[in-house]
Structure 1
C-alpha cells in the first residue's frame, strides 16, 4: 500500500500530528531517495514545530498531540516537504515561515493561490 501513497507521506505526517494516539508509517524507505531524504526532512521540521515524532529506518512514528507551534522551517528545496510544512504552518499556533517555498512550482504551480481560495472559502 505504501508505494501508492509514497508522495503523500509528508502531508500524512502533518495530519498525524493532530490525530489522537500513535501513527506508525513503515515500509517507506523509498522516501530516503526522493528529491531529499523526506523521512529525515519531515521529521526534523515537524519536531522543530513541537511534534512528538521519531525517525525510523523505513518510516516515522508520530504521537498525535493536537498542536504544533509556528517557527521557521526548511523546505530543503523539496516541493512535497514545502507543501506539507505550509499546511502544518496554517494549523500551527503562531507564525510559520518556510525557507525556499518556490520549489512548489515544480509540481503545483498556483499552489499558493489555490490554498488562499480554500482557506478563504
Structure 2
C-alpha cells in the first residue's frame, strides 16, 4: 500500500488525501478487513522517505569518520530499531560490528 506514492519534495507536499489514495485504501479494507471499511473520521498525510534501492543507509560519512549516517527509512526500518541502535552504538564506540554493513554503504549510490 505504501510503495506507490508520487515522488515529491516536502515543500510541495499536499497535506490532504486524494480520492485515488482513498480508493486504494478502501479496496484494501474491503478485501482484507471489511468491518473496518466504515466512515472516515480523520486522516493525515505524511512523507514516506526512501532510498533509491529501498534499503537503509548505515555508514560513516566519507569525509569524517566521526560522523555516522544512519537512515533506516524505507518503511520497514522501525522493525530493526534494536539492531540498528546496537550497530550505531558499536560504530560510535569503535567496537566490533556483528553484521556485514556493505549493502548499507553510502558508496552504493556513487
Which structure has more relative contact order (CA 8 Å, sep 6+)? It is: 1
Of Structure 1 and Structure 2, the greater helix share is in 1
Same fold, judged at TM 0.5 (above): no
* TM-score, with length taken from structure 1: 0.28
For the pair shown, the structure with the greater C-alpha radius of gyration is 2
